[in-house]
Amino acid sequence: MELKEKLVAVHPELDAVRAAAGEGPVYVVGGAVRDLLLGRGRADLDLVVVGNASELAAKLGAEPVEHERFATAKVTIGGHEIDLATARTEAYAEPGALPEVEPAGSIEADLGRRDFTINAMAIPMGEPSKLIDPHGGRADLDAGVLRVLHPASFIDDPTRALRAARYAARFGFELEGETAELLRAADLDTVSEDRREAGLLRLAGEEEAVRGFALAAEWGLIEPAPDGLELTARTAELIADGPWSLAEDRARMLRTMAMQPVGRESELVDARPASPSEAVELARRFDPPALVSARVRGAYWLDEYVREWRDVKLEIDGDDLVAAGVPQGPAVGAGLAEALRRKLDGEIDGREQELEIALAAARAEAGG
Ligand code: CTP
């Protein structure tokens, strides 16, 4: 399929953009071009306008992004998110600092500020069969190579080194020789904690996160926690589905496992609970990420907690005890707790027995 047909097939939302853009200098850029050439679908689209993006943004009913000095905007059309930006160049006053931004007079100038050749290509909206590829990105895509545009790239923005790990993991690409050398000299300490953290979280959000962390470690970008990589791999597998699944927190969880030594949850790893009730009492003091961490470190008893014991509920509640004459207050809680304990340990069964045990325990508490 030709570039133009691919573009139309993957991004039908471009119809609306084309109508609004007319003859204007509007370009599809960055990851959207790369993924199109790789034959990978994606939901979001980056567009650059040489001149000013505000007019196009207004025609599309896009919401301006307020904090940006140059017009940028976001709009969602047919479920596809479109990022609009004004073409710009960037100059870095200091390593790792945020760049000084100037308007770019051409799309080539805008492409020249970017991280890797595979991300520095553009397709003009008015001429969608044409690929603007000043840095040989297409050839690098075909060869499976990550290459920076200039030797100062990682000095300008060391977070690009983490981006390299992300793309290398995702696409199975290699670093080009000089890029590899430059990357080994990258110093993530020059960037703010927030930006470093954001980079790690994006790495952790990759399907191939484990491979990404392994590469980042191999390249000297990060220092994982003891056994961090092995534990991250086990965690990714454990939380993928089933009773341990933790879909929404996956990235945060993997990032923690890779980088953070064991914490308070080591208590769970060392514990040998003598009964289900003892297990529940201990486990419920920890949040789900801590439970996952303990489980991949060997607290296999938590499997039964997560599959069964955690969800064991009484058939009675506090109202039943109050109706039977127990005064409101701590006695109610004590009664229910005792009944749950006995139920967990298989000593009682059914509503009648629950009530009997709970009342006895509550009365003992109220009386004593
Ligand atoms: N970019 C860059 N340097 C950075 C961050 C971004 O050059 N430090 C450029 C790249 O051209 C990139 C584009 O901005 O393609 C958009 O960045 P981003 O949305 O982070 O990446 P995508 O390429 O869209 O990758 P992904 O598929 O992971 O979203």
CA of 88 to the centre of ligand 1 (A): 14
pLDDT tens profile 7-54: 989 998 898 899 998 888 999 999 999 999 999 988 889 999 998 888
d(CA 107, CA 123): 10
Confidence of residue 349 (pLDDT cuts 50, 70, 90): very high
Mutational test site, ligand 1, from 45, 114, 202, max ligand atoms within 8 Å of CB: 114
Average pLDDT, integer, range 64-88: 84
Please provide the DSSP assignment of 132-199 as one string.
B-TT-HHHHHHHTEE-BSSTTHHHH-THHHHHHHHHHHHH-PEEPHHHHHHHHT--GGGS-HHHHHHH
Confidence of residue 299 (pLDDT cuts 50, 70, 90): very high
Above 90 in pLDDT, residue 69? Answer: no
Ligand 1 lined by 114 (C-beta under 6 Å): yes
Q: What is the pLDDT of residue 328?
A: 92
Ligand 1 atom closest to residue 170's alpha carbon, by position in its atom list: 28
Mutational test site, ligand 1, from 33, 40, 115, max ligand atoms within 8 Å of CB: 115
Q: Where are the alpha helices (DSSP H) in 324-349?
A: 330-344
Residue 63 phi, psi (nearest 5) = -90, 125
CA of 32 to the centre of ligand 1 (A): 9
Q: What is the pLDDT of residue 186?
A: 93
Taking the model in full, what pTM does it have?
0.89
Above 80 in pLDDT, residue 1? Answer: no
CA of 30 to the centre of ligand 1 (A): 6
Q: What is the pLDDT of residue 367?
A: 80
CA of 316 to the centre of ligand 1 (A): 56
Ligand 1 lined by 83 (C-beta under 6 Å): no
CA of 218 to the centre of ligand 1 (A): 23
- Greater confidence (92 vs 48) lies with 48
Confidence of residue 368 (pLDDT cuts 50, 70, 90): low
User: Over pLDDT 90: what percentage of the chain?
Assistant: 77
d(CA 323, CA 337): 17
Ligand 1 lined by 199 (C-beta under 6 Å): no
pLDDT tens profile 115-173: 999 999 999 999 999 999 999 999 999 999 999 999 999 999 999 999 999 999 999 99
Across all residues in the chain, what is the average pLDDT? 93
Q: What is the pLDDT of residue 65?
A: 78
Ligand 1 lined by 265 (C-beta under 6 Å): no
Q: What is the pLDDT of residue 209?
A: 97
Above 80 in pLDDT, residue 247? Answer: no
Cα of 68 vs its chain's centroid, Å? 24
d(CA 347, CA 1): 69
Confidence of residue 223 (pLDDT cuts 50, 70, 90): very high
Domains by residue range for the chain, with CATH: 3-143 (3.30.460.10), 153-259 (1.10.3090.10), 318-365 (no CATH)
Which DSSP symbol is given to 116? B
Ligand 1 atom closest to residue 42's alpha carbon, by position in its atom list: 27
CA of 168 to the centre of ligand 1 (A): 14
Q: What CA dihedral angle connects 193, 208, 77 and 111, to 10 degrees?
A: 60
d(CA 171, CA 37): 13
